[in-house]
Amino acid sequence: MIGFDIDGVLADFVTPFLLLLERRAGRGPIKPDAYADPNFSDHPFLSKEIVSECLSDISDDPNFWQALAPIPSRHQWRSLDRLSREGRLVFLTHRWQRDTYDINQITCSWLEKHGVSNPVVHVTQEKKSLLIQKLDVKLFVDDRHENCEDVATQTDALVMMPHRPYNRSLNHPKVRRIQDLDEFFVYLTSR
């Protein structure tokens, strides 16, 4: 079984989130390399409150999630669809559940729109390692260093982490850094 995170791996979360932060702070632009710390704790004009408010705003807005741009190429989406149809692929995300809409359905629809015909999505606020163990995931792809470290230390899964400015600090022997999803597919076909 293969597990994939969505935001930052398959969906461009950073670009629209930075735009929202710029509007809320009344300043800008915020360069993507400023996202070296997802909490923006060292950013000169972004407070913890602004970041929290923006996170709350997007969690209340189904349109935010529906409009995210895809990261993979068409070929990569076809390969993900094949894995999904074979019953070998699950998606794990930390998106927030809301009473006003079904984030699981929004996420499934977004994946279908981009080519995964029958996505299996798990939304959680717990550590991803718990789901990785429960679902018996052997290969996991995530961009957040805290998720990668959690899964690497708490499970037997191999972890692949797409290189991003905000995850440069993690160097763990069980986490394989990849530059592009093609490296994931090359690894998969070599097994």
pTM of the model: 0.93
163 backbone dihedrals φ, ψ, rounded to 5°: -65, 125
Strand partners, 3: 90, 140
Locate the domains of the chain by residue range.
2-12+69-189, 14-64
- Domain 2-12+69-189, CATH homologous superfamily name and number: HAD superfamily/HAD-like (3.40.50.1000)
With beta carbons less than 8 A apart as the criterion, state whether 11 and 37 touch. no
Which residue stretches of the chain have pLDDT < 70? Answer: none
pLDDT, position 40 = 75
What strands, in cross-sheet order, belong to the sheet with 89-93? 121-123, 89-93, 2-4, 139-141, 158-162, 175-178
- The model's pLDDT over 125-149, given as tens digits with 9 standing for 90+, comes to 999 999 999 999 999 999 999 999 9
